């Protein structure tokens, strides 16, 4: 029986990985994120996650104003050691780096959306919002499932004085907002 060697990236450098390493490391699993210099591997999606992602993506595509694009599952370079991958991102259209681009810069992001799963609960509720706010991303939505499998959307806006998010609403059946742009989404 032959032994399959581990990839070199399984042993991180002492100082951790950098945002640029995500594009250089061979054979990383799909949707690998970088948080605090550590590689984070994402678990398989649930049916709730896939359906909610599709619904929100379609609604955002229909509502996003001129000059902005909706990106699905692309990373944001927050700084040298952090490149998380939100489920959806509303990005300035000038941030498009072409067909080989793999990320955008934080200053080009208007909205980051995370759909919480059991595996990512702490990252999506605590770690990522704190990092998005520190990077100056103006709006953040956290999406969770209720007992019946319906989406609940928690919306946040950045307070520029504190660089922290303030809760602007918890939406159970309808997500109707004026900011960051008008949107009306049936969550049922």
CA distances from 24 to 4, 79, 83, 84, 119 (A): 21, 17, 14, 16, 26
Spatial neighbors of 150 by CB under 8 A, at least 6 apart, are 172, 173, 187, 188
For 99-109, the pLDDT digits (tens) are 889 999 999 99
Q: What pLDDT does 108 receive? A: 98
Average pLDDT (180-187) is 96
Q: pTM of the entire structure?
A: 0.92
Note whether 62 and 81 are within 8 A (CB). Answer: no
pLDDT above 70 covers a percentage of the chain that reads: 98
CA dist 24 and 32 (Å) reads 12
CA dist 132 and 106 (Å) reads 8
CA distances from 179 to 19, 21, 22, 37, 65 (A): 30, 35, 33, 33, 11
Mean pLDDT for the chain overall: 93
Lowest mean pLDDT among 44-53, 76-85, 153-162: 44-53
For 53-71, the pLDDT digits (tens) are 999 999 999 999 999 999 9
Q: What pLDDT does 1 receive? A: 65
CA dist 63 and 179 (Å) reads 11
CA dist 68 and 48 (Å) reads 27
């Amino acid at each position: 029986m032959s032994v399959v060697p581990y990839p070199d990236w399984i042993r991180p450098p002492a100082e951790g990985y950098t945002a640029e390493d995500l594009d250089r490391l061979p054979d990383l699993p799909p949707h690998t994120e970088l948080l605090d210099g550590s590689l984070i591997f994402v678990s398989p999606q649930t049916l709730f996650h896939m359906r909610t992602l599709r619904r929100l993506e379609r609604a955002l595509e229909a509502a996003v104003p001129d000059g902005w694009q909706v990106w699905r599952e692309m990373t944001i370079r927050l700084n040298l050691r952090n490149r998380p991958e939100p489920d959806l991102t509303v990005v300035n259209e000038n941030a498009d780096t072409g067909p080989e681009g793999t990320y955008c810069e934080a200053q080009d992001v208007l909205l980051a959306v995370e759909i919480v799963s059991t595996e990512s609960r702490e990252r999506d509720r605590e770690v990522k919002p704190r990092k998005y706010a520190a990077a100056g991303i103006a709006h953040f939505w956290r999406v969770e499932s209720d007992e019946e499998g319906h989406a609940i959307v928690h919306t946040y806006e950045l307070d520029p004085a504190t660089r922290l998010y303030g809760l602007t609403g918890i939406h159970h059946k309808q997500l109707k907002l004026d900011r960051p742009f008008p949107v009306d989404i049936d969550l049922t």
